Structure 1
């Protein structure tokens, strides 16, 4: 693969096989078993040591249930091993997901999932790794040309599934620089906007995440070429990834990566500090 290779946007994961159907079916089964046990989502979440929103997302089939979650839920709901057996299907589904992308995206998807460090700059929308379900669905629903409902649901599922990177151990290092206008744009309406701001506060408070806002009033800007992601795969050198108008590019040339990295460093220096950024986001959330 050359450093300048560009291809059309690939078919999204879960659109090419039955993986999405598996996760939706498993979610319905989890809901049935939970209700049979007389528990609500909050009670189950407490027993398996996760958030209520995660239980809800798994039951709706928009988050990939991790093997550890299924094992814990199996014990909490006393299913006699039913959910633990399902974990093997999940392992196989995730293995298929790693091999069904076109070559250039397969490399990026694998590196993102195994990254020890990831740094992102976004100037149009909240990056996919930080999006709520409602925000992601609103984006896909308004994309042109219009997508059918089934495709929208599949793409939302894929986007949320990528967020399991935050659950890995050892914890990767993350930094995000968001243009202030990204936070001001109420994509999906007031309720979705409020939930998205709240999620940013939650993720920005994680000890391995630094989230910074670049004020619109900033008079100088080192990068007007669009959004990008810098990531460091385990045991490998840093690479950069860009995606513009349906064309993606994985940048591996050291000199090109250095330019992107320099721009990112300058923007971080110009942006509000992480503490100032979270204070601003909290104010926007309270004043919405």
Structure 2
């Protein structure tokens, strides 16, 4: 949701500086790391973060947080270049947080503050897992069409939400994704391969439990569509549903209970975490 560069429409990163900034910083970190003679594993050990985080930042999949830039600058002998970008990153993250469309803002706020998040996806990879190329395809090919400025803003907003994976301790998270979603190559073969790799990265995090709902069950409790369950800090669990820009943040305890029950049954019918990872690895091998 190709062509020659000369004929290519202006990309969101060119319209919205936020997405471009994050990708540019990732490339700079990669060059500095290589110049310092460090592998991703070595840099992760020195800076006390995961190798997945280093890899994702360098590929522009995850946002380099200000504290990461401050910590990594002296290690990579950057001479203050990365630290100089800290204020711009903070401003970009703040701008993205307040720029969500009105109908989505209450959920985005609740998601950022949640202590537990559970996502069930039936049409596309959940936004919080999407790579830049996959997310751009989601926004670019929707109907009615977005203009270039809106695509850029929505893309930057979506990528900024992924900062939640860089927080420690992070919220408890689980995902159940329909297998059909993971076989729909949005954005093209290369973009989709990168998206599947991103799903695997997140699925391997200790704070995440990931499952695939296979295509072959003869009964299914989740045919009414996608939803998210979230538990804000110090408050009761709530549910979020969205369809064509119409969103509901559900707080009624009885209605939330129905979604919680439905999610529990869906998880019970889905593949195990190990089986799910094995299936994605097989899909990657087929691409």
> The TM-score by the shorter chain falls in which range?
0.7 to 0.9
Contact 1:63 1:157 in 2 (8 A): no
1:45 Cα deviation after fit: 8.6
Q: Which moved more, 1:116-125 or 1:215-224?
A: 215-224
1:49-64 matched pairs, under 5 angstroms? 50-57=53-60, 63-64=62-63
Deviations 1:83-105 (A, max 9, x none): 43542343344344444446653
User: Which of 17, 24, 28 is residue 21 of structure 1 equivalent to?
Assistant: 17
Contact 1:118 1:174 in 2 (8 A): yes
Using a 3 Å threshold, how does the CA distance of structure 1 residues 79 and 105 change in structure 2: closer, same or farther? same
TM-score of the aligned structures, taking structure 1 as reference length: 0.79
2-structure distance, mates of 1:142, 1:177: 24
Aligned to 2:128: 129
Contact 2:19 2:156 in 1 (8 A): no
1:1-288 matched pairs, under 5 angstroms? 20-21=16-17, 24=20, 28=24, 39=35, 47=43, 50-57=53-60, 63-78=62-77, 80-81=79-80, 83-101=82-100, 105-288=104-287
Contact 1:229 1:241 in 2 (8 A): yes
1-structure distance, mates of 2:99, 2:73: 30
Using a 3 Å threshold, how does the CA distance of structure 1 residues 81 and 45 change in structure 2: closer, same or farther? farther
Contact 2:96 2:156 in 1 (8 A): no
TM-score of the aligned structures, taking structure 2 as reference length: 0.80
Cα RMSD between the aligned structures? Answer: 3.1
Contact 2:97 2:157 in 1 (8 A): no
1-structure distance, mates of 2:25, 2:125: 32
1:76 Cα deviation after fit: 3.5
Contact 1:45 1:52 in 2 (8 A): no
1:258 Cα deviation after fit: 0.7
Contact 2:114 2:231 in 1 (8 A): yes
1:241 Cα deviation after fit: 0.8
Aligned to 1:5: none
1:228 Cα deviation after fit: 0.5
Gapped regions of structure 1 (runs ≥ 5): 1-14
Deviations 1:35-89 (A, max 9, x none): 69983897689545542341341xxxx7543111220243245455454354234
